Amino acid sequence: MTAREPSPQRAARASVVRNALGVGVAVGAYGFAFGAASVAAGLSVLQSCLLSLFAFTGGTQFAVVSVVASGGTLAAALGSGLLLASRNTLYAMRLAPLLRVRGVRRLVAALGTIDESTAMAVTQRDPALARVAFWWTFAGVFTFWNLSTLLGAAGASAFGDPSRYGLDAVIPAAFLALLASRLRDGRLERRVALAGAAIAAVLVPFTPPGVPVLAATAAVLLATTMRVPR
């Protein structure tokens, strides 16, 4: 910003920017997997890239192409995708008073409201640093996520059958990686995960593809109405 800033402030800012870009690079690896999975599911390279550019929320994108790949309906794919995306609404509500954005900046900030940018912003002590963290994490993740989606999608469409390269093992491992930090949050989370997994596993032969995943959300109702202690 300005030369008059005290140097501890500048150091804190530089460290936030470095961390933000590091998060971006790490997420990039995930973009390759998404691009490849998306093309393997039958989406075009263009469709895969548009999802990464404008839906810009990894778990949802993965879920949507996963349901497409299994032969599920449009409603099932959209349903599980948007349910996963609904947490971004909560993130936006937490970010709104921190970012205090209006007009076009608010429209852009909305696009960048994802797990990583929210986590980086809300953990800063100082609101100015929170804004730096949000915008730099958004920029870093957006850049690498979209580049790697393009490379993964174009690569998959060039090299053919992705299961030869073990992509079918990568996809469940990728979902597990997304889930892992939540499993470490507490017992309630682990119960919900186990119940959700069990519901989905049991329903596979009885329901159309995509429905087992949607139905797994019933695990949340079970777990929260039973008031399990954390």
Partner 1 sequence: MNLWTLVLTTIAGCYLLKLAGYLVPARVLDHPGVRRVVELVPVALLAALVVVEGIANGRHYDVNGPRLAGFAVGAFAVWRRAPFLAVVVSAALVAALLRQV
Q: How many residues lie near partner 1 (CB under 8 A)? A: 101
Which token pair is 109? 């900030």
Using alpha carbons only, how large is the chain's radius of gyration in Å? Answer: 19
Least distance in angstroms from the C-beta of 170 to partner 1: 5
Stretch 172-191 residues interacting with partner 1 (CB under 8 A): 172-180, 182-183, 188-189
Least distance in angstroms from the C-beta of 79 to partner 1: 10
Q: Which of 39, 66, 131, 156 is in the footprint of partner 1 by CB under 8 A? A: 66
Distance CA 100, CA 170 (A): 39
Q: Which of 19, 73, 143, 157 is in the footprint of partner 1 by CB under 8 A? A: 73
Least distance in angstroms from the C-beta of 5 to partner 1: 29
**Looking at 7-15, 49-57, 129-137, 138-146, which segment touches partner 1 (CB under 8 A)?**
49-57
User: Which phi and psi angles does 32 have, rounded to 5°?
Assistant: -55, -50
Which token pair is 128? 């100015």
| Owner of token pair 């205090």 | 100
Distance CA 84, CA 87 (A): 7
Distance CA 116, CA 140 (A): 10
Least distance in angstroms from the C-beta of 215 to partner 1: 8
Stretch 9-38 residues interacting with partner 1 (CB under 8 A): 26-27, 29-30, 32-33
| Owner of token pair 């933000």 | 20
Specify the amino acid at residue 86.
S
* Interaction between residue 39 and partner 1 (CB under 8 A): no
